């Protein structure tokens, strides 16, 4: 039986244990992350928290709906056991009918078919080799760039969240139309734990690039990369990725690039030897 719970009914330890032990764990699904990013959220629970599905929710003009919160790429069903297609459909059917729209990115381990789904691309890179062996799988151009230094620039690996956010705003001049994403990013950057990391890159004292990345049990998530035109000309994004790989080389981590459907961005990720995985965007109106 699948139960529907409100956030205030959650047994938090059991829930987070489920996410931690899940064969398809994602940092986005932890309660602290959802509390930071979502306006509010519900949970579907099966078998005393062995299988769960978080549901970010909103209400607008009196209409309840499940929405895709910013800074969350993949949610869906999480379990410490194998997840088959029928189980995913059971969870979808268990979403209360009061939610007139269901809009969810399922994780890449939630493979299922439905007329309400579309395919999304993601790219991941295993870090279980030493850096030099990982670099052997770069394409020719990325290998060439990686040989060059960047002594002109300085990386602050305990970067100022305020400076990072200001650069984000400068690079997204229409950010006022995305106020929610800005506010939630600020909340995330202000979290004081080792799972949320901010790197800022300076040319002398000028901030020219940065990266907010996440770390959980087995995944490094490349969440928010920033680079000015100057930094791009100097290939700073490549050097930032190299630094990230060097910090986690020869360990049981996956570098999750978080996308992309944009060909140029996807080619950048593939140039590091990253491999494509697919996940599903599920969007359905529940009128009746």
pLDDT tens track for 90-138: 999 999 999 999 999 999 999 999 999 999 999 999 999 999 999 999 9
What was the pLDDT predicted at 259? 86
- Boundaries of every domain in the chain: 2-113, 123-278
Strands (E), 16-98: 40-46, 51-60, 63-66, 78-79
Angle at 196 between CA 192 and CA 200, to 5 degrees: 100
Tens digit of each residue's pLDDT (9 = 90 or more) over 221-258:
999 999 999 999 999 999 999 999 999 999 999 999 99
96, 4 Cβ separation under 8 angstroms: yes
What was the pLDDT predicted at 179? 84
Q: Is residue 177 over pLDDT 70? A: no
Q: Which residues of 207-230 are buried (b: 16+ CB within 10 A; e: fewer)?
A: bbbbbbbbbbeebbbbbbbbbbee
Confidence grade of residue 288 (pLDDT, cut at 50, 70, 90): low
Q: Is residue 70 over pLDDT 90? A: yes
String of DSSP letters for 226-260: EE-HHHHHTTHHHHHHHHHHHHHTTSS-EEE----
Fold match between domain 2-113 and domain 123-278: yes
Tens digit of each residue's pLDDT (9 = 90 or more) over 187-213:
999 998 999 999 999 998 999 999 999
The fold for domain 2-113 equals Aminopeptidase (3.40.630)
Over residues 261-275, mean pLDDT: 96
Confidence grade of residue 149 (pLDDT, cut at 50, 70, 90): confident
Residue 58: Cβ-neighbour burial (10 angstroms; 0-12, 13-18, 19+): middle
CATH classification code of 123-278:
3.40.630.30
Please give the mean pLDDT across all residues of the chain: 95
CA 49, CA 13: separation in Å to the nearest integer? 10
Confidence grade of residue 80 (pLDDT, cut at 50, 70, 90): very high
Helix (H, G, I), strand (E, B) or coil at 266: helix
Helix (H, G, I), strand (E, B) or coil at 8: helix
CA 209, CA 225: separation in Å to the nearest integer? 8
211, 244 Cβ separation under 8 angstroms: yes
24, 78 Cβ separation under 8 angstroms: yes
Tens digit of each residue's pLDDT (9 = 90 or more) over 23-68:
999 999 999 999 999 999 999 999 999 999 999 999 999 999 999 9
Q: Which one-letter DSSP state was computed for residue 278?
A: E
pTM: predicted TM-score of the whole model, two decimal places: 0.95
Helix (H, G, I), strand (E, B) or coil at 189: helix
Confidence grade of residue 175 (pLDDT, cut at 50, 70, 90): low
> How do strand 63-66 and strand 51-60 relate by DSSP bridges?
antiparallel
């Amino acid at each position: 039986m699948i139960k529907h719970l409100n956030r205030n009914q959650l047994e938090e330890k059991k829930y987070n244990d489920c996410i931690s032990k899940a064969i398809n764990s994602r940092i986005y699904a932890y309660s602290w992350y959802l509390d930071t990013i979502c306006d509010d959220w519900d949970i579907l629970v099966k078998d005393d928290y062995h299988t769960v599905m978080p549901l970010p929710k909103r209400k607008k003009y009196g209409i309840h709906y499940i929405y895709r919160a910013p800074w969350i790429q993949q949610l869906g069903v999480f379990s410490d056991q194998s997840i088959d297609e029928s189980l995913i459909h059971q969870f979808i059917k268990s979403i209360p009918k009061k939610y007139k729209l269901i809009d969810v990115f399922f994780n890449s381990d939630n493979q299922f078919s439905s007329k309400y789904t579309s395919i999304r691309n993601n790219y991941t890179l295993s870090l279980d080799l030493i850096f030099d062996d990982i670099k052997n799988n770069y394409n020719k151009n990325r290998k060439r760039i990686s040989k060059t230094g960047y002594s002109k620039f300085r990386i602050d690996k305990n970067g100022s969240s305020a400076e990072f956010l200001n650069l984000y705003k400068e690079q997204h001049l229409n950010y006022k139309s995305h106020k929610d994403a800005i506010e939630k990013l600020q909340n995330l950057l202000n979290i004081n734990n080792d799972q949320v990391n901010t790197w800022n890159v300076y040319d002398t004292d000028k901030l020219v690039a940065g990266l907010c990345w996440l770390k959980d049990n087995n995944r490094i998530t490349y969440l928010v990369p920033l680079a000015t035109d100057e930094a791009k000309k100097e290939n700073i994004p490549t050097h930032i990725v190299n630094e990230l790989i060097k910090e986690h080389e020869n360990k049981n981590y996956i570098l999750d690039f978080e996308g992309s459907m944009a060909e140029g961005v996807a080619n950048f990720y593939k140039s590091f030897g990253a491999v494509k995985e697919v996940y599903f965007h599920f969007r359905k109106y529940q009128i009746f």
